[in-house]
Chains A and B, each alone.
Chain A
């Protein structure tokens, strides 16, 4: 399995609080991604990174920010958590950015916003 670790694995927090999720990889892959998965929807991209300090928005980026200060770490921050952000969050990595390359996923973080 690809060396991807997400932390925390589970978190319950209250509306309005900031939350940071961490993705750590040991594969030295250039590309990293954050997705959310909700019932009835496919995985939806929140933000991605194509290198250290190089990030861009995905399709559902509102309310989220990211940072990548090292190749191995990609952080996702919910600036002020809302109940609509209750979801399962997956980090993914890929060696190349081209569409022919699959992505490999971390175990996920289950986040509940009360």
Chain B
């Protein structure tokens, strides 16, 4: 079983739609959680951290459920520019800042 699992998609949605991605992780000792965004043939870029109480950044809302070991990302009012792959990242201290990446969920927003 992979340490971090994501639905690879693609999720094809029209502009203005609301879309949600989930991610599950296996290590209960995981400390921190992030969503990264990766455009085609580009480097991953930090989208947002995920806090236990849930957090929002504009149209993006992240939730964490430690008991069930899953993380979610909700995108409201999708834009064409949101088309990308979204990487779920889980960290824990394994002698170093160990980041475990999911393989990513691809989102395609169409007009």
Q: Do A and B bind each other?
A: yes
Q: Chain A interface (Cβ within 8 Å of chain B)?
A: 31, 40-45, 48, 50, 56, 90, 94, 96-108
Q: Which residues of A contact B92 (CB under 8 A)?
A: 99
With A40-B103, A44-B101, A102-B46 given, can you name 11 additional A-B contacts, CB distance below 8 Å? A42-B103, A43-B101, A45-B98, A48-B96, A90-B44, A94-B97, A99-B32, A99-B97, A102-B49, A108-B42, A108-B43
Q: Is the CB of A99 within 8 A of B34?
A: no
User: Range of interface residues on chain B?
Assistant: 20 to 34
Binding site for A on B (CB under 8 A): 2, 4, 8, 31-32, 34, 42-46, 49, 87, 89, 91-93, 95-104
Q: Is the interface of B mostly helix, strand, loop or mixed?
A: strand
- 12 contacts across the A-B interface (CB closer than 8 A): A31-B96, A41-B103, A43-B44, A45-B99, A50-B96, A97-B96, A99-B32, A101-B32, A105-B43, A106-B43, A107-B43, A108-B43
